[in-house]
Amino acid sequence: MPDAESKRIVCVTGAVWTGSRSAPRRLLVREGFVRPTWFTTGRPMTDADYRQISDTRFHLARARKNVLAHIRYRGSFIGIMHDDFAAAMDRSSHGVLVAGPPEIAVQLAERFARAQVFALKGPRMAMPARLEAGVQPAQLHPVDVDVLAPSAWTNVHVAIMEMLGLPVST
């Protein structure tokens, strides 16, 4: 098993999204990437594992520097704690997969030079400005997705695996 320094940090974000179980939150899970548990001070928003905490607990964790990345969304805070990220890294064989808002991807890319951000977008869509401004060019990979095309998510999966230099399982 690779050591923590050789494992990858992969962020999947962007304007093209689906609730399908095959994408994008599950793109790399079968290859050994682990999604960290998120925290929320409100209600869970997606199918990610969430831990509900109070606003007070969030602010205490932030003061103790245990909040790795977060955003304020609809009056609540959501994000990832350092210890949950580390636990996901320990459990993974290839690394951590964070599928979420661009602001979270930017925070992780700023913190980890080895983080790779895959921005899913429609074929004629421009790259979101906040990603271009906040993520180093070598870390940012636009991936065009035509969600109506047959095998769209399979093609995205193959493209991401190839960009990561990992073998594509069939």
pLDDT tens digits, residue range 38-67? Answer: 999 987 666 667 899 999 999 999 999 999
- Is 27 within a domain? yes
Q: Residue 53 falls within a domain, yes or no?
A: no
Is residue 96, in this structure, part of any structural domain at all?
Answer: yes
Question: CA-based Rg of the chain, rounded to a whole angstrom?
Answer: 16
Residue 59 lies in a domain: no
pLDDT for 108-132, tens place per residue?
A: 999 999 999 999 988 888 888 888 9
Q: Is residue 47 part of a domain?
A: no
At residue 4, does pLDDT exceed 80? Answer: no
Residue 137 lies in a domain: yes
Task: Name the pTM for this structure.
Answer: 0.87
For residue 87, the domain's CATH number is 3.40.50
pLDDT band of 17, cuts 50, 70, 90: low
**60 in a structural domain:** no
Please tell me the total count of domains within the chain.
1
Give me the domain span that covers residue 144: 8-38+81-164
Q: Which residues pair with 99 in a beta bridge?
A: 12
Q: Is residue 76 part of a domain?
A: no
DSSP-derived 3-state class of residue 99: strand
The residue among 139, 147, 88, 132 whose CA lies nearest residue 118 is 139
